[in-house]
Chains A and B, each alone.
Chain A
Amino acid sequence: MSAKGITIALSGKGGVGKTFISSMLVKRLAEHAAFWLSTPIRIPTSLRRWA
């Protein structure tokens, strides 16, 4: 893992399920990463949804 961590962006047409997938990723990555990295992690979700 790079020193600054991993930045993941979700792109695509409106209504394809980006927010669904990103919310699932936040939850799952927190669980998986805690297991894989064996360290507590913090994940910010920058919801750049101007709605």
Chain B
Amino acid sequence: MSVKRSVGQSREDIINAPMRSPVTNSKQEHLEQAIHESIEEFPKFDIIVMGRSEGEGCYCAVNHVIRGVIDTRARGYDFTIIDCHAGLEHLSRRTTRDVDIMLVVVEPTKNSVQTAKRVMEIAKELHIQFGAVFVVANRVTPENRPRLDEMAKENGLEITAYVPFEPLVNEYDGMGKPVSDLPKDSPASRAIDEICQKILSYA
């Protein structure tokens, strides 16, 4: 799967345009147009790649436009999946303010479990409400699961789904093969199917 242009590239063009003025109507229209053009269509889904991280300067106005355009576009789809930047910034920036299901991914490490706890705490502090929160544990093995369960309990997290450790993921990554091509009968694929069932039940 290849994507011709990312939203980040369009955003840089706007930010670095001559006459560094605030986002005017024409710039807003330009960015909206650029975002629409960044949407790559495939037979069963569309994709927007956000692209590079922010450089120098203030991106607030441009990010505001991007958020608005994506919110508007999302209304036209049955499902929108947002793969957030690592960390907690999406909460403070309120990128994820209108999310129906927040899937907090953890692995069997103390740091990741504590980050998940912080996601919950910050969402509460900022009064961001999700329709549902699913805590998904990834890379779980029979050996690390008891420790993971204990850490989750200590941090007040209830794990919704366990995705088993799948060696093929690293293998596919190494070969540049899409991980979504994992065999349907692999334990990880079956775990994802169960998450889908929960999502569909919510829908």
Contact = CB atoms under 8 A, between A and B. Distances in A.
Interface of A: 1-34, 36-37, 39-51
Interface residues of B, number: 70
B102 interface: yes
B171 to A, nearest CB: 13
Contact of A8 (B79, B90, B139, B178): B79
B20 interface: no
Which among B8, B76, B78, B104 has the greatest number of chain A C-beta atoms within 10 A? B78
Contact of A46 (B83, B107, B119, B193): B83
Contacts, number: 226
A7 B84 contact: no
A43 B52 contact: no
B185 interface: no
Interface in B29-45: 39, 41, 44-45
Given A23-B180, A46-B50, 14 more contacts: A3-B75, A5-B80, A9-B99, A10-B105, A12-B116, A13-B111, A17-B163, A33-B78, A45-B45, A45-B83, A46-B80, A46-B81, A49-B50, A50-B50
A25 B82 contact: no
Contact of A16 (B39, B106, B180): B106
